Amino acid sequence: MDKKISVAVVGASGYAGEELIRLLIRHPNVEIKVITSRQYDGKGVETVFPRFTGLNLKFAAPDVAQIARDCEVAFLALPHGLASEFALPLLQAGVKVIDISADFRLKSTAKYKEYYKEDHPSPEMLQQAVYGQPELYREKLRSANLIACAGCYPTSSILPTAPLLAAGLVYTDDIIISSMSGVSGAGRKVDLPYIFPECNESLKCYAPSKHRHLPEIEQELAFAAGIPELAINFVPHLVPVNRGINSTIFLKAKPDCTIEKIAAVYEQAYGKERFVRVLPAGTLADTKYVTMSNCCDISYTLDKHTNRVIVNGVIDNLTKGASGQAVQCMNIRMGFEESAGLL
Amino acid sequence: MDKKISVAVVGASGYAGEELIRLLIRHPNVEIKVITSRQYDGKGVETVFPRFTGLNLKFAAPDVAQIARDCEVAFLALPHGLASEFALPLLQAGVKVIDISADFRLKSTAKYKEYYKEDHPSPEMLQQAVYGQPELYREKLRSANLIACAGCYPTSSILPTAPLLAAGLVYTDDIIISSMSGVSGAGRKVDLPYIFPECNESLKCYAPSKHRHLPEIEQELAFAAGIPELAINFVPHLVPVNRGINSTIFLKAKPDCTIEKIAAVYEQAYGKERFVRVLPAGTLADTKYVTMSNCCDISYTLDKHTNRVIVNGVIDNLTKGASGQAVQCMNIRMGFEESAGLL
Amino acid sequence: MDKKISVAVVGASGYAGEELIRLLIRHPNVEIKVITSRQYDGKGVETVFPRFTGLNLKFAAPDVAQIARDCEVAFLALPHGLASEFALPLLQAGVKVIDISADFRLKSTAKYKEYYKEDHPSPEMLQQAVYGQPELYREKLRSANLIACAGCYPTSSILPTAPLLAAGLVYTDDIIISSMSGVSGAGRKVDLPYIFPECNESLKCYAPSKHRHLPEIEQELAFAAGIPELAINFVPHLVPVNRGINSTIFLKAKPDCTIEKIAAVYEQAYGKERFVRVLPAGTLADTKYVTMSNCCDISYTLDKHTNRVIVNGVIDNLTKGASGQAVQCMNIRMGFEESAGLL
Amino acid sequence: MDKKISVAVVGASGYAGEELIRLLIRHPNVEIKVITSRQYDGKGVETVFPRFTGLNLKFAAPDVAQIARDCEVAFLALPHGLASEFALPLLQAGVKVIDISADFRLKSTAKYKEYYKEDHPSPEMLQQAVYGQPELYREKLRSANLIACAGCYPTSSILPTAPLLAAGLVYTDDIIISSMSGVSGAGRKVDLPYIFPECNESLKCYAPSKHRHLPEIEQELAFAAGIPELAINFVPHLVPVNRGINSTIFLKAKPDCTIEKIAAVYEQAYGKERFVRVLPAGTLADTKYVTMSNCCDISYTLDKHTNRVIVNGVIDNLTKGASGQAVQCMNIRMGFEESAGLL
């Protein structure tokens, strides 16, 4: 029998929480000890998610002392702002924190304030947090106690783009990302724009120049390019699917960029990765091939007549874009098989 | 009682044909005399489209002589290549031809061959054809006998972009169009990629650097900019809705471009147009507001941090993107109220 | 020029209100004078429904005196309970009231209380109200001042069933109705069960033995059968489409019932009706053939091995199931062409 | 390390084949040795199902000798008629055959001919075949060499109904089943009715009195009731979801039937089952809670005013309705943990 650790899912009544439960109940090294929800305190998990009928788990109001006593790892699937309220005391109590919210992703408190309209609640922890994108930060994650999991749009954008920037094949000042997301990306939010008749048979862009994932993508692409900062266009669209993000990325090729070099760069970056798959020439990325999986698929082409590299990155926003990636980060941190619970 | 002309719909068993019938049966100045389909020759229109149960119309095999005898106008809703076979004899017989296919849209036979992989079947007619985009070519359409209706992606892209290029507010060498289309855009085609379980819960791009609508968009944007040619990126995506195209267009602003100037240019271009609506600031274009209508809605923003103008154009691909625009062109050509049958 | 009457749409910010506006703005005999919404008082209709951009209409808080002064007809598209608050004063002020809510459909105050859990607010008006199902009550509607439009599930169920009961071809004590409805049937309601990820890829029944439309259907089928009352099973299901109801009705055939007799009964009942179409043998009713139209399509079969007649009735829940039928009722009441504004 | 057997998936390029591969690649006791497809002979599995990129599996033309040499178990995911061509030689060669097609489900060759319009190809094997519905035939399955897996509609109907009939709580001559199925239920079939724009925003019934699953359901319900035969109504509907069947079953209660007795009967039948979940009162079955799982969920109510029991059975048509159930049957036959590979 494998060794099992006890974990908590804090904020377990949303879609990221549901996905964490789905993944963790079959994880060979994990036992879910605590799932929290103020709203459903005392109720069985199956009252909120009948899918889990038969599972013996009850929601409890979040209690840091109890989590600290019982759990080695806490996943935070909370709205931004709230996550940091829990992260600090949990860390102080020795619990490893894997945060799915946006609270600890940005290194710059100025950027945080610009996009979230308030001062960062615990700026001292920003430098401590490791960005939860395993393919880019695997070594740092091995010892991280506070992991700020990459966002969904960022994951679908950064993984395909970072290697090309790092290799110097494309320019850093001409990057455009046009993304489509399924509605679960908005969370389990009860709001007019998300009711079925408003979303179905609808295609729309939103926040075309100031989405909160923009500074996160810019931060990571600048790191990849080895420069202090860069500016990109990122336009998200809401489309009528449940799960899945497809990001189409337009990059300006440098003169010596060739399709062979791109292939070589991707092979070196991801050839041995389990959860990033660079598709063979002729196959275009499609979200349906990654839904319910932890994979990010990448396809690409070099358009000679404009000298642009066009890359597609697709993920399941709830798995590789949130809870699956969180589990992958935990696996790395705890020394488990990296794919444990994710196949 | 209004005067009525007799019209034919050639190739009436596809989605563009269905939409033409839907629009024309309530058009005050039109009587549908002929609908053709080889496959359904002799069958009532309701056997293919039960929606039209109660309508007294039968499919017939296409017969140029009969159409020429009975009809003033023929709409061609045929696959490309086939349309030109009908256009020439119909024109010679004095029938006005409104073609929804791509056969007469490109002025360059070289481009036609590059993208359609065969010589153009009747190059002598290319110069005669007028491009069926009423807001740009209204005057020419008044006397055109061969109208090559603009394609669906092109309509959603050209209408929002052309005025900005014509006004010199944006550069001509940095244009990126990322579009999403509903599945009816593929026609009533019975092919594996279009069956429901393949399209539903799927987001994918296709033909990222060589879609057949690319040269058409480039041709018209070059005309608008007043230059011989230009090169753009155009990436279409297939998404699970029935109807609707949303094109997000990224344009590089010139130094003196301001949001006020953009607004003024659009106001001048479309302020009096019935079927192009520039949405007020704060409202973003959504296909669901134009489905089953002949409108193209436009919204835009100027992203200062990259100096890009981001424009959204949305249409119903079967109405403003095909059959509705064809009816609008006919109305102009025949001197009818331009919105007749389209409200 | 046709004579035009002025009308009000009270409660115009929901889906039934939107559909009323869509239909009435192209109605040749109607001018919309007032649209009411407390929530959007003072705002243009396009702020709630961008589809209507370009239309010069503003929401106002409901004001009975103003409506009475300016309008001949008021459509009530309000939640049940609220409708009766407006109906009485409007009627007293001489306005004809066409109510889309359920407030005046049931003749029995006891049934109202049983299903709506409160006393009927104005029982004296129940006998005065005429049930708004034109194909069954056309003559009474010609002079009705209070019209209680038939509900959506009831319309899809009663129209196919009533003629067979009236003709005595089927038993009255063995009637089962299994219906599917699109999500707009729940109204523009912001509630967890109606957000996109909860409805999409979901098939579920609800209220299997006590839906509020049950007593309405039973009342009308009893009338049709000429008996005081009857009891049926009615089970609605929520399915992921925007618009459309499909009701499958299982009826026990009497010994002398034949497929020819059924056909004859339907022909007599609906052969001359514009908005009820009995499909030819071999064609099965499909909601997509009636969406955005005021038609109810009916198909049927006689299953010899169980002696059951299986009938399908399909409608667009917002058109024939609500606003279209309301307009049809108004047309009858006001002496307009019955199909005015509905083709 | 668990012992592993080698298996073949014959006809692996359809949706049932894809689902078998999905399940079997993570099955602890199984190695997929052979996947067959004439059409894709020699191609990697990822060319048909990019979801499986990274999996080292190639399609081969079916070769009975090779399968017999290499595999203990063969799953047949073939169209009906074709399955029996493979079953006989495989059985003779000592391979255990688990057939997902309809070929060996009916005990009566007359019924087979009535519904499939041809003589049964190998009637001698019908009596040998064990019906693959583990909750009803578990003991027989332990030694079955030819397993005829229950169909999708039948599974969703028989599991909820059989115990009530067996317990004598409901009548056998008044059974009505109204089902809805996602489009993957039609297989990966390229045919006009299944393309996206024909299915989306469409609700329709089909084959209302003669679907091929009807005799299968009747056979099993008669067995459950302990009578030679019975006749039911079964009406399937096609609705726009990918996966999922919801069957609403109307049963006439005998005088002594109570809600408590129904609960007790279900508890006895399924209280210890892993894959049949009878939901607590107040929770209604919803396909979205069982998609991608091997569960059949059941909810029920007793409608006193008509004395009908209304039961809902929901499954994922590709899992419990096809490939998951096939794996469950294999697990029983081979002595594996019954839930192996299915959690």
pLDDT tens for each residue of D204-245: 999 998 999 999 999 999 999 999 999 999 999 999 999 999
Predicted local distance difference test score (pLDDT) of residue A31? 97
Could you tell me the pLDDT band of residue B282, with boundaries at 50, 70 and 90? confident
The CATH superfamily assigned to B153-317 is Dihydrodipicolinate Reductase; domain 2 (3.30.360.10)
In what helix (H) or strand (E) does residue A276 lie, and over which residues does it extend? strand A276-278
**Taking 80 as the threshold, does the pLDDT of residue D3 lie above it?**
no
Is A197's CB within 8 Å of C189's CB? Answer: no
Token pair recorded at residue C237: 């299901």
Q: Concatenated DSSP letters for D111-153?
A: HHHHHHSS--S-GGGTTT-EEE-HHHHHHHHTT-SEEEEPPHH
User: Cα dihedral sign for A80, A85, A86, A90?
Assistant: positive
**Taking 90 as the threshold, does the pLDDT of residue C279 lie above it?**
yes
- Specify the DSSP class assigned to residue B313: E
Are C147 and C97 in contact by the 8 Å Cβ rule? The answer is yes
Residue type, D179: S
Is C277's CB within 8 Å of B53's CB? Answer: yes
Are B91 and B144 in contact by the 8 Å Cβ rule? The answer is no
Is B53's CB within 8 Å of C290's CB? Answer: no
Is D192's CB within 8 Å of B188's CB? Answer: yes
Mark the ranges of chain A whose per-residue pLDDT is less than 50.
1
Report the 3 state secondary structure along D159-193.
HHHHHHHHCCCEEEEEEEEEEEECHHHHCCCCCHH
Answer whether D5-149+321-334 and D153-317 agree in fold: no
Predicted local distance difference test score (pLDDT) of residue B106? 96
Predicted local distance difference test score (pLDDT) of residue D80? 86
Mean per-residue pLDDT over chain D, rounded: 96
Which of C43, C51, C320 to mutate to test binding with chain B, by most B CBs within 10 Å of its CB?
C51
Predicted local distance difference test score (pLDDT) of residue D181? 98
Closest residue of C to D285, CA-based?
A: C204
Edge-to-edge strands, sheet with C5-10: C59-60, C30-36, C5-10, C73-76, C96-99, C146-149, C130-132
User: d(Cα A291, Cα C119) in Å, to the nearest integer?
Assistant: 50
Predicted local distance difference test score (pLDDT) of residue A282? 84
Are A61 and A34 in contact by the 8 Å Cβ rule? The answer is no
A56 CB contacts (<8 Å, ≥6 apart)?
Answer: none
In what helix (H) or strand (E) does residue D311 lie, and over which residues does it extend? strand D308-315
Predicted local distance difference test score (pLDDT) of residue A2? 60
Quickly count: other Cβ atoms within 10 Å of residue C207's Cβ: 15
Q: Using CA atoms in the order C61, C65, C71, C74, what is the torsion angle rounded to 10 degrees?
A: 60
Is D250's CB within 8 Å of C237's CB? Answer: no
Are D112 and D214 in contact by the 8 Å Cβ rule? The answer is no
Which of D179, D195, D203, D251 to mutate to test binding with chain C, by most C CBs within 10 Å of its CB?
D203
pLDDT digit string, tens, across residues D262-286: 999 999 999 999 999 999 988 999 9
Closest residue of B to C274, CA-based?
A: B54
Domain boundaries, chain B: 5-149+321-334, 153-317
Per the listing, tokens 């709409």 go with B75
Residues of B within an 8 Å Cβ radius of A: 174, 176, 178, 180, 182, 198, 200-206, 208-209, 231-233, 235, 237, 239-246, 248, 250, 284-288, 291, 301, 303, 305-306, 308, 310, 312, 314
Closest residue of D to A24, CA-based?
A: D343
The class (CATH top level) of B5-149+321-334 is: alpha beta
The SS3 call for residue D203 is coil
User: Cα dihedral sign for A151, A152, A157, A158?
Assistant: positive
Is C200's CB within 8 Å of A201's CB? Answer: no
Smallest CA–CA distance, residue A51 to chain D, in Å, is: 4
3-class SS shares of chain D: helix, strand, coil, % to 5: 35, 25, 40
Edge-to-edge strands, sheet with C276-278: C204-205, C233-238, C170-181, C245-253, C308-315, C296-303, C276-278
Task: Give D277's contacts in chain A (Cβ within 8 Å).
Answer: 53-54
Angle at B120 between CA B114 and CA B125, to 5 degrees: 130
Predicted local distance difference test score (pLDDT) of residue C14? 97
Residues of B within an 8 Å Cβ radius of C: 26, 49-51, 53-54, 201, 274, 277, 279, 283, 286, 288-290, 292-293, 297, 343
Closest residue of B to D182, CA-based?
A: B197
Are A75 and A14 in contact by the 8 Å Cβ rule? The answer is no
Token pair recorded at residue D156: 């969703």
Which of C182, C196, C240 minimises the CB distance to A195?
C196
User: d(Cα B270, Cα B135) in Å, to the nearest integer?
Assistant: 8
In what helix (H) or strand (E) does residue A5 lie, and over which residues does it extend? strand A5-10
Closest residue of B to C55, CA-based?
A: B274
Lowest mean pLDDT among A324-333, B315-324, C318-327, D279-288: D279-288
| Residue B249 Cα distances to A1, A240, B83, B176, B289, angstroms | 56, 21, 30, 6, 19
Are D57 and D40 in contact by the 8 Å Cβ rule? The answer is no
Task: Give D243's contacts in chain A (Cβ within 8 Å).
Answer: none
User: d(Cα A7, Cα B99) in Å, to the nearest integer?
Assistant: 64
User: d(Cα D294, Cα D124) in Å, to the nearest integer?
Assistant: 31
Task: Give C303's contacts in chain D (Cβ within 8 Å).
Answer: 208-209, 233
Residues of A within an 8 Å Cβ radius of B: 174, 176, 178, 180, 182, 198, 200-206, 208-209, 231-233, 235, 237, 239-246, 248, 250, 284-288, 291, 301, 303, 305-306, 308, 310, 312, 314
Predicted local distance difference test score (pLDDT) of residue D121? 87
Could you tell me the pLDDT band of residue C2, with boundaries at 50, 70 and 90? low
Could you tell me the pLDDT band of residue B121, with boundaries at 50, 70 and 90? confident
Per the listing, tokens 């799960």 go with A243
Residue type, D252: K
Which of C152, C202, C203 to mutate to test binding with chain D, by most D CBs within 10 Å of its CB?
C203
Task: Give C286's contacts in chain B (Cβ within 8 Å).
Answer: 50
Residues of D within an 8 Å Cβ radius of A: 26, 49-51, 53-54, 201, 274, 277, 279, 283, 286, 288-290, 292-293, 297, 343
Neighbours of chain A (3+ CB pairs under 8 A): B, C, D
Smallest CA–CA distance, residue A104 to chain B, in Å, is: 24
CB pairs under 8 A between A and C: 60
Bridge partners, C161 (sequence order): none
Mean per-residue pLDDT over chain A, rounded: 96
Residue from C71, C149, C152, C199 carrying the catalytic annotation: C152
User: d(Cα D47, Cα A281) in Å, to the nearest integer?
Assistant: 11
Are C198 and D287 in contact by the 8 Å Cβ rule? The answer is no
Smallest CA–CA distance, residue C286 to chain A, in Å, is: 18
Strands B170-181 and B233-238: parallel
Predicted local distance difference test score (pLDDT) of residue A81? 86
Q: What is the mean pLDDT of residues B141-146?
A: 98
End-to-end CA distance of chain D: 19
Q: What is the mean pLDDT of residues D139-157?
A: 98
Task: Give A259's contacts in chain B (Cβ within 8 Å).
Answer: none
Helix pair angle (B214-225, B152-166), 10° resolution: 20
**Taking 80 as the threshold, does the pLDDT of residue C1 lie above it?**
no
User: d(Cα D288, Cα C192) in Å, to the nearest integer?
Assistant: 15
Residue type, B238: L
Is D292's CB within 8 Å of A292's CB? Answer: yes
User: d(Cα B292, Cα C291) in Å, to the nearest integer?
Assistant: 11
Strands B170-181 and B245-253: antiparallel
User: d(Cα C158, Cα C247) in Å, to the nearest integer?
Assistant: 10
Strand ranges inside chain B, DSSP E? 5-10, 30-36, 59-60, 73-76, 96-99, 130-132, 146-149, 170-181, 204-205, 233-238, 245-253, 276-278, 296-303, 308-315
Which of C190, C192, C200 minimises the CB distance to A192?
C190
Closest residue of D to C285, CA-based?
A: D204
User: d(Cα B43, Cα B57) in Å, to the nearest integer?
Assistant: 9
Are A77 and A14 in contact by the 8 Å Cβ rule? The answer is yes
Token pair recorded at residue B16: 């563009």
Which of A183, A191, A240 minimises the CB distance to C190?
A191
Are A341 and A327 in contact by the 8 Å Cβ rule? The answer is yes
ipTM: 0.96
A212 CB contacts (<8 Å, ≥6 apart)?
Answer: A102, A115, A116
Are C15 and C184 in contact by the 8 Å Cβ rule? The answer is yes
Residue from B71, B149, B152, B329 carrying the catalytic annotation: B152
Share of chain C above pLDDT 90, in %: 94
Mean per-residue pLDDT over chain C, rounded: 96
- Specify the DSSP class assigned to residue D75: E
Residue type, B213: H
pLDDT digit string, tens, across residues A236-261: 999 999 999 999 999 999 999 999 99
pLDDT digit string, tens, across residues C261-276: 999 999 999 999 999 9
Predicted local distance difference test score (pLDDT) of residue B281? 86
Bridge partners, D211 (sequence order): none
Angle at C49 between CA C44 and CA C54, to 5 degrees: 60
